[in-house]
Amino acid sequence: MKPESSTSSDISFDDFQSQIIKDYQIAVTSRECSLLGRREVLSGKAKFGIFGDGKELPQLAMARAFEDGDFRSGYYRDQTFMMALGYLSPKEFFHGLYATTDIQKEPMSAGRQMGGHFTTHSLDENGEWKDLTKQKNSSADISCTAGQMPRLLGLAQASKIYRNVKDIDQTNFSNNGNEVAWGTIGNASTSEGHFFETINAAGVLQVPLIMCIWDDAYGISVPAEFHTTKGDISEILKGLQRDDKNEGYEILKVKGWDYTALIHAFENASEIARESHVPVLIHVTELTQPQGHSTSGSHERYKSEERLIWERENDCNKKFRAWILENNICTEQDLKSLEREIKQTVRAAKKEAWIEFLKPHLNEKNQLVQLLENAAEKSANQNFIAKIKNDLIAIEEPLKKDLASKSRKALRYLLGETTPEKLQLQQWVENFLDSAQPKYSSHLYSEQNTNVLGVEANPPEYTEDSEQVDGRIILRDNFDKLFEKYPKALVFGEDTGNIGDVNQGLEGLQKKYGPYRVADTGIRETTIIGQGIGLALRGLRPIAEIQYLDYIMYALQTLSDDLATLMYRTVGKQKAPLIVRTRGHRLEGIWHSGSQMGGLVHLLRGMYILVPRNMTQAAGFYNTLMKSDEPALVIESLNGYRLKEKKPSNLGEFRVPVGKVETLKEGTDITLLSYGSTLRIVEKVAKELLEVGIDAEVIDAQSLLPFDVSHDVVKSLKKTNRLLIIDEDVPGGCSAYLLQEILEKQGGYNFLDSAPQTLTAKAHRPAYASDGDYFSKPNAEDIFEKVYAIMNETDPISFPKLI
């Protein structure tokens, strides 16, 4: 099913004819899959369907121009393209619909994503990079409208980096930057901000990006005039067209049913982008959507009869067929014979996929039925268990959930019984859940030996004459060492390059390492993260800088839906070891004092979230992350850059372990847990508490995701029996998360003599200026009085009421 690498030029008629027939075969196969796929959803075998019917021809043209090493960043209608590359067979298509959890049978996501979400495998079975230059690549799709756009920018920029940065090892990743990043999107989704931000950034950066817009004049039920000014996206983007004086885009417009025009347009776009690193926009118009947007509705409800007639007449497959006959490439009889054969093949693939999907379930069902029968015979609740067994027998096509639910309910009727049959059923349930759950929950983080938790700690070293310097100097000099050590390391963001970031943590590094490795960007947080994802997918080691933590909200969708889920939704077949660097916590005002950690720890599962208390700890985290291959967010303390710290002698080498807390002060009366800038206040208060006879233990969380993998906090509670978490997030934010980790996961509740408590910021955003900070976030007096009140409740004689 894989196409030949030759193009429509400079080949014989026989070869040309063979290519045409092969393209038609793929187009009809894809359409038949769409038609049968919809029926499978409506029959209940599949949960949801969103298909590529009506978009077959331009995707065939795109596949022709797509070369080894290229990357796709697309959306959920590109099934014909994936079939043309040989990466999606009809049987795999149906396994995707059924959510088969076998990665060999459903290679896109092993059932973790609905059908229409495509990926290729960048990593081998050991989690090592494959040679991406010898395969055609697709970054893993996400459903979110235009969510594929930000990473597209980075995939294209990687080619520019590989072509222009000397002394960088391109092995497995690039052939002198000749690779093109291909984006696909529906016309309505071009209304999204992600699209415009990416298009603008690609024009500024001049990267080899080809943006393909499949335009069927609708976005779900809403016609184009409600989505786009003038109803035409290429019309309003004309100002981006390059000319003799200005760089910009090459903009091409082509009808989606015109086979020869499509072939030439895509070949032309490929040549321009590949050789000159000029972005190209291809607007493919007059496409149709024969089955409507998805299986959740019918397009007859919102399209006029005139539009429906037009769509039937201008269907790209129908037009392609007519063109083949008009040019005597094939006879009517031969086409009909081919079409009959394709229908039989697709139907057989559908049947075979369903049988393969059901087979392990049926085997498990047979075992479970026998176990239930055995248990019922020996139980006082025989009738109840027999009913569960009979209900299970009646399910002819069981799912895993049916087996799990029936077996677990049966155990309720065996309470208090100790028969061997009950023990056998218990063992079956335990084994079944142990086997089934990882199929849905594995690979949230790396499961290879490159996992960041496996990086060995290495403490900072000091000499007798180690100097006290501003914290930013430690960061700057440590980054310098990292850039020397890792040629693929690069950093970019707003004010990152020329001035070396707003706090001079990168001062002078652009001059030393050049503007490709230490780069300024525009004010566009979403695509800064997208750059990082795409660059990391292509083997580079990017550090994407978001100027302040408050502004990470602009990029949160991309971080949460794309980066944090990548390892999970590809079942470990793709990775993007992006480090996101930012600064936050206590400063001044609503949008310059970010501490929205509760939201981040819940939305960014799949990333590591690190909150160093000073710049030495931050540098140590960067050193650790560079020895790993996983994504992380590092939040430096915004008010710590000018504070003095002792400068380590082993810059670039010392490593702070991820997932470990650090006890900064031993104590016996109460455990105080905090992190970041607030921790400095807690340390100060701990000294003041000694004056009234309270010996507090102070622990720095350091790492929020994951938190305290060694369970050191509960070890502290065994000694102090009291807990206070101090956090500058809102009530119920990060402090609630930490409380759950300690009380539930670590079993800390068992060692408490007082109620565990939290001290947080107020529910509102922090007010401006020093007074605003004092009355919005926990201050020294708040902490002192909260600790004292806990001790007062425990021992009111020794600690009489303060207020």
The per-residue pLDDT for range 219-268, each reduced to its tens digit, is 888 888 889 999 999 999 999 999 999 999 999 999 999 999 999 999 99
Residues 486 and 604: their CA atoms lie apart, in Å, by 26
Mean pLDDT in the chain? Answer: 95
| DSSP secondary structure code for residue 767 in this structure | P
Q: How many CA atoms lie within 13 A of 549 on its CB side?
A: 29
Q: What tens digit of pLDDT does each residue of 689-739 get?
A: 999 999 999 999 999 999 999 999 999 999 999 999 999 999 999 999 999
Q: What tens digit of pLDDT does each residue of 312-336 get?
A: 999 999 999 999 999 999 999 999 9
Catalytic annotation on 117?
A: no
User: Tell me, what's the pLDDT at 294?
Assistant: 80
Helix ranges (H only) for 648-733 are 678-690, 712-720
Q: How many CA atoms lie within 13 A of 624 on its CB side?
A: 30
Distances (CA, A) of 81 to 62, 85, 221, 324, 801: 7, 6, 25, 20, 73
Residues 548, 551, 553, 558, Cα dihedral to 10° = -90
User: Tell me, what's the pLDDT at 449?
Assistant: 86
pLDDT band at 2 (very low <50, low <70, confident <90, very high): very low
Q: What tens digit of pLDDT does each residue of 733-762 get?
A: 999 999 999 999 999 999 999 999 999 999
**Confidence check: pLDDT of 9 > 70:** no
CB 137 within 8 A of CB 189: no
* Residue 127 φ/ψ region, left for φ over 0, alpha for ψ in the -120 to 50 degree band, beta for the rest: left
Residue 150 has φ and ψ, to the nearest 5°, of: -55, -45
Q: What is the mean pLDDT of residues 449-478?
A: 95
Active-site hit among 121, 592, 602, 764: 592
User: Tell me, what's the pLDDT at 3?
Assistant: 36
Q: What is the mean pLDDT of residues 13-42?
A: 94
What SS3 class is residue 190?
Answer: helix
Q: Write out the H or E segment, with its range, that includes residue 632.
A: strand 632-637
Residues 607 and 592: their CA atoms lie apart, in Å, by 24
pLDDT band at 575 (very low <50, low <70, confident <90, very high): very high
User: Tell me, what's the pLDDT at 10?
Assistant: 61
Residues 475 and 495: their CA atoms lie apart, in Å, by 16
User: Tell me, what's the pLDDT at 591?
Assistant: 85
**Confidence check: pLDDT of 394 > 70:** yes
Nearest to 716 by CA among 702, 700, 731: 700
Q: What is the mean pLDDT of residues 138-158?
A: 97
Nearest to 778 by CA among 671, 690, 679, 638: 679
Structure tokens at 86: 């040989």
User: Tell me, what's the pLDDT at 201?
Assistant: 98
Residues 783 and 780: their CA atoms lie apart, in Å, by 5
Q: What is the mean pLDDT of residues 461-490?
A: 97
**Confidence check: pLDDT of 674 > 80:** yes
The three-state DSSP-derived secondary structure of 299-367 is HHHCCCHHHHHHHHHCCHHHHHHHHHHHCCCCCHHHHHHHHHHHHHHHHHHHHHHHHHHHHHHHHHHHH
Q: Where do we find the tokens 């949801």?
A: 48
CB 135 within 8 A of CB 68: yes
| DSSP secondary structure code for residue 741 in this structure | I
User: Tell me, what's the pLDDT at 13?
Assistant: 76
The identity of residue 432, as a single letter, is F
Q: What tens digit of pLDDT does each residue of 55-102 get?
A: 999 999 999 999 999 999 999 999 999 999 999 999 999 999 999 999
Structure tokens at 414: 């065996």
User: Tell me, what's the pLDDT at 1?
Assistant: 35
Global pTM value: 0.96
Structure tokens at 12: 């014989």
